[in-house]
């Protein structure tokens, strides 16, 4: 399948779904986006959602462009329709086929859909400004000048951070689910440690904050959190 945005061939991943089903997902590393056929995204199992963290982290350095305004369905070539939706209290967006063939969503909006992303508080924005001058938008990759505001001037996304507590919840679901995937018993403790380090960085304390701020300036706030989780999953 070709990417609805850049027309390059997408990579197909077969992941586990709920109730012992399988789900095929098409991903474009260059555009940092997924194509989901119909209801594939809601059917992902906790283990598969966790695997996508590593997939997204590996793709972050390979972003080469932004998402255009005119996208066409890879199944029927119809123009995709920009759509806004809500998951719990989180608003996210995607581009859907008007004939129901599927939807195109950025990695960032996928994470918002799964409730992994939350906007920064005013205090966190101020601490961010004290440590870095610019940060790449987690949605489109454009640089955000922190002296001018806390929203991306290109796509309008607010500065956001990965919710590590939600990542811990997913690991807990996986541990309690009747799934064959094994979970490192130390992973929940490691995730909690990373969450404390990030909290300490925004509180202006902690010895590890310098390295973490370096990641935020190069791959964005959400990317820094995803990369931290991916490193733990690969241990």
Q: Where does a domain end: 82, 113, 144?
A: 113
**pLDDT given for residue 10 in this prediction:** 96
Q: Rounded distance, CA 163 to CA 82, Å?
A: 26
Residues 146 and 94 placed together within one structural domain of the fold = no
Residues 223 and 180 placed together within one structural domain of the fold = yes
CA of residue 71 relative to chain centroid, distance: 21
Question: Is residue 188 in a domain?
Answer: yes
Residues 45 and 88 placed together within one structural domain of the fold = yes
**pLDDT given for residue 73 in this prediction:** 96
Question: Is residue 2 in a domain?
Answer: no
Q: How far is CA 143 from CA 64, 106, 137, 158, 189, in A?
A: 14, 17, 6, 12, 33
Which of 43-47, 96-100, 115-119, 229-233 has the highest average model confidence (pLDDT)?
A: 96-100
Question: Is residue 60 in a domain?
Answer: yes
Beta bridge mates, 92: 85
- At 51-93, the pLDDT tens digits run 888 889 888 888 877 888 899 999 999 999 999 988 777 788 9
Closest CA to 3 of 83, 78, 72, 57: 72
3-state secondary structure of 155: coil
pLDDT-derived band at 178 (thresholds 50, 70, 90) equals: very low
Q: Rounded distance, CA 229 to CA 188, Å?
A: 11
Question: Is residue 223 in a domain?
Answer: yes
Residues 109 and 122 placed together within one structural domain of the fold = no
Domains of the chain: total: 2
User: What is this structure's pTM?
Assistant: 0.84
Question: Is residue 154 in a domain?
Answer: yes
Residues 122 and 229 placed together within one structural domain of the fold = yes
Residue 212 has pLDDT above 70, yes or no: no
CA of residue 217 relative to chain centroid, distance: 16
Q: Where does a domain end: 113, 142, 169?
A: 113
Q: Where does a domain end: 113, 143, 169?
A: 113
Residues 41 and 105 placed together within one structural domain of the fold = yes
- At 4-45, the pLDDT tens digits run 999 999 999 988 877 678 888 899 999 999 999 876 666 777
The range of the structural domain enclosing residue 217 comes to 117-233
- At 106-141, the pLDDT tens digits run 999 999 888 888 889 999 999 888 888 888 888 888
Long-range contacts of 165-168 (CB under 8 A, 24+ apart): 165/195, 166/114, 166/115, 166/116, 167/53, 167/116, 167/191, 167/225, 167/229, 168/192, 168/195
Residues 16 and 50 placed together within one structural domain of the fold = yes
Residues 186 and 105 placed together within one structural domain of the fold = no
């Amino acid at each position: 399948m070709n990417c609805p945005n850049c027309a390059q061939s997408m990579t197909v991943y077969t992941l586990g779904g709920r109730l012992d089903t399988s789900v095929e997902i098409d991903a474009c590393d260059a555009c940092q986006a997924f194509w989901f056929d119909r209801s594939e995204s809601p059917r992902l199992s906790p283990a598969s959602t966790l695997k996508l963290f590593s997939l997204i982290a590996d793709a972050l350095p390979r972003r080469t462009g932004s998402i255009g305004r005119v996208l066409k369905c890879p199944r029927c070539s119809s123009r995709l329709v920009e759509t806004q939706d809500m998951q719990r209290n989180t608003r996210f967006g995607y581009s859907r086929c008007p004939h129901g063939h599927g939807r195109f969503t950025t990695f960032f909006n996928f994470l918002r859909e799964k409730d992994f992303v939350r906007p920064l508080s005013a205090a966190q924005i101020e601490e961010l400004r004290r440590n870095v001058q610019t940060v790449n938008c987690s949605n489109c990759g454009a640089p955000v000048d922190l002296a001018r505001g806390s929203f991306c001037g290109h796509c309008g996304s607010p500065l956001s951070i990965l919710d590590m507590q939600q990542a811990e919840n997913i690991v807990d679901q996986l541990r309690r689910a009747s799934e064959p995937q094994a979970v490192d018993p130390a992973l929940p403790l490691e995730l909690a440690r990373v969450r404390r380090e990030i909290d300490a960085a925004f509180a202006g304390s902690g010895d590890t904050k310098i390295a973490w701020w370096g990641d935020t300036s190069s791959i964005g706030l959400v990317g820094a959190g995803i990369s931290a989780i991916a490193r733990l999953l690969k241990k």
